[in-house]
Amino acid sequence: MSGPGIDASNDEIIWFGTLDYFSPILREGDPLPGIGESLTFTSSGGATLNAGGQIAMHGLLAGEDVNPSNYHALWIVDPQAPDSVISVVRTGDPAPGTEDGTVFADLRIVRPALNARGQVAFYAMLSGPAVDDSNRWGIWATDPLGELVLVCRAGDSIVLADGSSCTIENIDGTSLLTRSINDHGQIAFVAKPINSTERLIVTTVPESSTAALLATGLLAILWLIRGRVGRGR
């Protein structure tokens, strides 16, 4: 974009709308309070729109204490409430499901996937003392509660549909398309097991410990209710 008052610090805008009407939802230089105090948006690395109108996007940050190890983030914004930015992940954050000291190093490889429930999935590169070329890449996603969980990482051992197990040699990040996660929380991607050809992997995003505890609590409550109803008959 160009015009009076526009320069390299504010000339990029994310627009939302139909063929008949567009409105800006995020402009270079805008604050991102959902990610951190005093942080601003500087550049977009790609965005994905879901059926509910939410947008998952990753981009570069500027502001206090921002450096090359933490200047990239992934977030969700609702065009109906553009001020409510939901942070998903930022480089430098600890990577769930990995060893202590392992952090996200790069999120920019492909655009994030997003379903109608607001669950986001992304492919990322890791760094840390236990990270090498055999386990540097992986896929993470948010569960129904919005908590980040590991879906699959190079070097992981997985069980296939026929009951056999294999170790993932590498994951094709470009196979994680913007619609690769459906509304049931199932995610599809291509991976290559060691000593085998590439396979299409379809799995369900695992529950976080919080979701599992809530599910256990709900089952306990249902059991109590049913027990009381049974005794009251």
Would you write out the chain's pLDDT as a tens digit for each of its 233 residues?
566 666 666 666 777 777 677 777 777 778 786 787 788 888 888 889 898 889 898 888 988 889 999 999 999 988 777 667 888 999 999 999 999 999 999 997 788 999 999 999 999 999 999 999 999 999 999 998 899 999 999 999 988 888 888 999 999 998 988 889 999 999 999 999 999 899 899 999 988 765 444 444 443 444 444 444 444 44
Overall domain count for the chain:
1
Domain that includes residue 216, residue range: 13-232
In a domain, 172, yes or no: yes
In a domain, 220, yes or no: yes
In a domain, 193, yes or no: yes
Note the pTM of the prediction, 2 decimals: 0.82
In a domain, 7, yes or no: no
In a domain, 37, yes or no: yes
In a domain, 4, yes or no: no
Dihedral through CA 186, CA 189, CA 194, CA 195, nearest 10?
A: 110
In a domain, 2, yes or no: no
Q: In sequence order, which residues have a C-beta less than 8 Å from that of residue 173 and are 6 or more positions away?
A: 109, 110, 123, 137, 139
Of 158, 231, 229, 232, give the one whose Cα is nearest residue 196.
158
**Count of alpha carbons within 13 Å of 213, Cβ hemisphere only?**
4
